[in-house]
Amino acid sequence: MKKVVKFGGSSLASAKQFKKVADIIKSDKSRRYMVPSAPGKRNDKDEKVTDMLYACYDAASEGRSYKKILENIKSRYTEIIDGLNLNLNLDHEFQRIEENFLAKAGRDYAASRGEYLNGIVAANYLGFEFIDAAEVIFFDEHGNFDAEATNCELEERLKNVERVVIPGFYGSKQDGSIKTFSRGGSDITGSIVARAIHADMYENWTDVSGFLVTDPRIIHDPEVIETITYKELRELSYMGASVLHEDAIFPVRREGIPINIRNTNRPEDKGTLIVESTCRKPRHTITGIAGKKGFCSINIEKAMMNAEVGFGRKVLSVFEQSGISFEHMPSGIDTMTIYVHQSEFEEHEQSVIAGIHRAVEPDTVELESDLALVAVVGRGMRSNRGTAGRIFSALAHARVNIKMIDQGSSEWNIIIGVKNDDFETAIKAIYDIFVTAEL
């Protein structure tokens, strides 16, 4: 058995957390490949080392005073190193970092040092080999991740390595400069390493016991999802559920490697298992509910629209020309509605309306803003009568007006448009009918 274990920032924020991590790794011999984040927050008021590094670099590269921030970053590592009684000194590393900051090595370089240094500390503490991610994770000249070059190099490098730490979040471009993934990107590194070594499992250790059925800011203490498929997860992450970086699914998915989300502070909890497909029945008809606010709809009406070949294409090309991607497109006989992100649409609003008039000569174009989309996702919904009926009657009882309904042909995802103000009420009503009522 081979497992890749990725630990998030809060799992490695202090010496105390590092000790928990070591216990977890030592309790299972197959946990041989470790991917660390940078030290995260130790409490609500604390700062993440990554954010401190960005601030420090910005100050240094703009000629402002940066020494104090650099000292604070240093002391985060010293606290960990001393707390673990390690014989390790990072002075020369910090000296080089400072020189590179002053030479304007870039914000990505700056941010990546959090993971780099934490990787050195973790390797020293665990007695694992250290491989700098810059040597094995590659980006092309446009800054896009180069999956194939990375996979080849990693496979080769890890062939004869027993136990290794590879820092998360960054890699290098062909010119040797450092490039990071987007924030939270250590999850992606873990997934890439899991693919390269053909892992049996990718364990992603964080500070929650798995994916929750819905947002805990809306439902107090929601249930944990035991098993979820990649596809369900993709929908839920896209619609706002955030435990795992949404791009972290792709490398392991290619190999059918399951991901297990686990809690460093409660290692006895099983967490959430993310799999390609499963015979395990979901506990409830639905697997999860997620959603986002901040959409607007563009409602287009034209008599005899249904008979006009190419109408939809012409309308969509107006959005394409303005670089706006659309989310949903419900249509009627003589009406068509496009849902877009309000923030993306606002600055192009008038030119899009004018463009639609020119392209299809509609009778009317109306806008409605401040809308939210709620996604109800679940493989158990498929071929199951009455799910939509239950959702809609729950919303009717909660006095939520439904603006839009969209069920893809896959039948495991229903998207509902409501007013922003009804967003929380809608999620509560759906959670109650499917989870609370089924307990």
Q: Tell which residue, 322, 320, 310, 224, has the closest CA to residue 271.
A: 224
The reply on whether position 167 binds ligand ASP by CB under 6 A is no
Residue type, 122: A
Q: Tell which residue, 36, 130, 20, has the closest CA to residue 77.
A: 36
The reply on whether position 38 binds ligand ASP by CB under 6 A is yes
The reply on whether position 186 binds ligand ASP by CB under 6 A is yes
Residue 331's contacts (CB-CB under 8 Å, 6 or more residues apart) are 312, 337
Per CB under 6 A, which region of 98-106, 149-157, 182-190, 258-266 contacts ligand ASP?
A: 182-190
Among 10, 14, 17, 37, binds ligand ASP (CB under 6 A): 37
Q: Where are the beta strands (DSSP E) in 30-177?
A: 31-36, 129-130, 164-165, 170-172
The reply on whether position 264 binds ligand ASP by CB under 6 A is no
The reply on whether position 114 binds ligand ASP by CB under 6 A is yes
The reply on whether position 169 binds ligand ASP by CB under 6 A is yes
- Residue 108 is labelled as binding a ligand: no
The reply on whether position 412 binds ligand ASP by CB under 6 A is no
- Residue 181 is labelled as binding a ligand: no
Q: How far is CA 158 from the centre of its chain?
A: 26
The reply on whether position 184 binds ligand ASP by CB under 6 A is yes
The reply on whether position 168 binds ligand ASP by CB under 6 A is yes
The SS3 assignment for 422 reads helix
Within 290-400, residue ranges assigned H as helices are 311-321, 342-346, 349-360, 387-397
The reply on whether position 337 binds ligand ASP by CB under 6 A is no
The reply on whether position 179 binds ligand ASP by CB under 6 A is no
Q: How many CB atoms lie within 10 A of CB 75?
A: 11
- The answer to whether 413 touches 235, Cβ cutoff 8 Å, is yes
Site of tokens 């004869």: 160
Least spacing, CB of residue 390 vs ligand ASP, in Å: 38
Per CB under 6 A, which region of 131-139, 180-188, 316-324, 394-402 contacts ligand ASP?
A: 180-188
Q: How many CB atoms lie within 10 A of CB 351?
A: 12
The reply on whether position 119 binds ligand ASP by CB under 6 A is no
Site of tokens 């990072």: 90
* 401, two tokens: 């007006």
C-beta closer to ligand ASP: residue 37 or 297: 37
- Residue 189 is labelled as binding a ligand: no
Which residues fall in the annotated binding site?
6-9, 50, 115, 206-207, 217
> Which residues make up the interface to ligand ASP (CB under 6 A)?
9, 37-38, 48, 50, 114, 168-169, 183-187
